[in-house]
Amino acid sequence: QSALTQPASVSGSPGQSITISCTGTSSDVGGYNYVSWYQQHPGKAPKLMIYEVSNRPSGVSNRFSGSKSGNTASLTISGLQAEDEADYYCSSYSSTSTVVFGGGTKLTVL
């Protein structure tokens, strides 16, 4: 149950786009389309932003989008806004019938 690999931090200026990668294996990210992305502000509970690789729950801005290629999933945030500054986590279903999370990425809006 190794954690998925995410960059520790990314940054961007307001209005720009950023992409956060999430690398796993063929036993998790590469083997299933069950990949989700979560946003977590300090002291708050995580919030689902993307599910099934690229689907947005109701109420989530269309500035957030997801994709996957092979064993790597990606979250792209376009038109960066100050309120997007948060920690972001990916997660995937795994072949062992468990769930694995990424280590998290801190997004800084400059």
Beta bridge partners of 65: 76
Beta bridge partners of 102: 4
Stretch that binds other proteins, among 23-31, 64-72, 78-86, 89-97 (CB under 8 A): 89-97
Q: How far is the CB of 15 from other proteins (least distance, A)?
A: 28
DSSP state of 3: P
CA 42 vs CA 18, 80, 84, 85: distances in Å: 20, 18, 12, 10
Element at 109 (helix H, strand E): strand 105-109
Site string for other proteins, 54-83 (x = CB under 8 A): ---x--------------------------
The one among 49, 75, 91, 109 contacting other proteins by CB under 8 A: 91
Residues contributing to the site for other proteins (CB under 8 A): 1, 3, 32, 34-36, 38, 40, 45-48, 51-52, 57, 87, 89, 91-93, 96-104
